[in-house]
Amino acid sequence: MATISIIPPIMKYIRGFIFDVAKKHHGKNSFKSKSLTSFAKWLKMRFKEGRYPLVDQAEIAPIVGETDLRLIHSPADLPRATWIGHATMLVQYRGINFLTDPHLTDHPAPIDCLFPGRLTQPALQHAEMPKIDFIVISHNHYDHLDRRTVNMFGNSVIWYVPLGLKIWFEKQGIHSDKVVELDWWQSHQFSDEVCVTFTPSVHWSKRVPWDTNKSLWGSWSVRIAEFNSWFAGDTAYDEELFMEIGRRTGPYQLSFIPIGAYGPRYFMSSQHVDPARAVLIHKDIKAEKSIAIHWGTFQLTHEPFLEPPELLKEAMNFENLPQNRFVILKIGETLVLEKTETV
Ligand code: ZN
Ligand code: ZN
């Protein structure tokens, strides 16, 4: 007699989706990650490496710029992007304003003492923001998904989230129809002019001890009319993968690529790129211009706090690329693209 499993329908009811083992990044009960790590290994590394190399505020001051509120609140006839801090970018074009991984509070962890507090303040507070249309979330790590910041925006925006993360948003009181949950390579038409596609990355997910890789991680490709942009989230390097992103959803006029949280390499290289590999991603995805993110805000790892932009300059020289193709903005600084070409 044929047996019909009732587990998938129950899991679909509880979790909102079922894993599809026909897809190579889906396991039976979690997503498959190449970033092999564990809390025990992290603790061992922390013990070996000792304290984080903090710097004093005077040395940090030069990386903080002036935020041009008048520009930010004026119509964006040319595409522009403002670095709010860490992985948070405000992107504006043709009446659309969107944010990447907004984090506007002081701590990047479930327990405030786990990491040092924020070393540079967000360039914009929530009340200073223009009306935000949508927000893309790369994954559920605390420096990218901050509950207190999510509650600031609540139901006033559309949230684009990785597969498996919608349920978390619903628990925060966000309405189901305000959350668009996508698997890799799935797209959603926000409006006639705006298409949002969830693209892969090499990373992992975890917020509590029992949810390792239960929700997906990834990067976001956002096209507004002829302006094509890409937000990397957190990622390690994989040439084949980024070439594929370049082929399928590139080329890009502007991308946002992490350059920090890479030390020590023996531990971090399977989950975060260093500046040299960030430049390889910039080339692989066919970005005309990139902005460095994921540095200068939280001390999450053991490289010196101000080292990432120095190594980025060296990597650009090594690749014979002009420095203005991979831009190091100050916190609060806005980059306005000079022209818009159909890509
Ligand atoms: Zn992460
Ligand atoms: Zn991160």
User: Residues for the chain: how many in total?
Assistant: 343
pLDDT at 242: 98
Domains, the chain, with CATH or none: 38-336 (3.60.15.10)
Structure tokens at 330: 């100050």
Starting from the CA of residue 33, give the closest ligand.
1
pLDDT tens, per residue, the chain with 343 residues: 455 567 677 777 777 889 999 999 999 999 999 887 778 888 888 888 888 887 888 999 999 999 999 999 999 999 999 999 999 999 999 999 999 999 999 999 887 777 778 999 999 999 999 999 999 999 999 999 999 999 999 999 999 999 999 999 999 999 999 999 999 999 999 999 999 999 999 999 999 989 999 999 999 999 999 999 999 999 999 999 999 999 999 999 999 999 999 999 989 999 999 999 999 999 999 999 999 999 999 999 999 999 999 999 999 999 999 999 999 999 999 999 987 555 4
Tokens standing for residue 183: 């698997």
Q: Report CA(101)–ligand 1 centroid distance (Å).
A: 11
Query: What are the Cα distances from residue 171, in Å, to 11, 81, 165, 319?
Result: 17, 31, 10, 46
Compute the distance from residue 258 Cα to the ligand 2 centre, in Å. Answer: 8
Ligand nearest to the CA of 101: 2
How many whole angstroms from 172 Cα to the centroid of ligand 2? Answer: 21
Secondary structure (3-state) at 209: coil
User: Could you tell me which of 160, 145, 147, 97 has the C-alpha nearest to residue 124?
Assistant: 97
Ligand 1 mean position, distance from CA 203 (Å): 7
CB-based contact 239:272 (threshold 8 Å): no
Which ligand is in closest contact with the Cα of 103?
2
CA–centroid distance, residue 274 to ligand 1 (Å): 14
Residues with CB under 5 A from ligand 2 (ion): 143, 234
Q: How many Å lie between the centroid of ligand 1 and the Cα of residue 152?
A: 22
Contact 297, 286 (CB under 8 A): no
What per-residue confidence (pLDDT) applies to 53? 84
How many A from CA of 3 to the centre of ligand 2? 44
For residues 67 and 124, the answer to whether their CB atoms sit within 8 Å is yes
In this prediction the pTM is: 0.95
How many other CB atoms are there within 10 angstroms of residue 223's CB atom?
20
The rounded Å distance from CA 60 to ligand 2 centre is 20
Ligand nearest to the CA of 108: 2
Number of CB atoms found within 10 A of residue 46's CB: 13
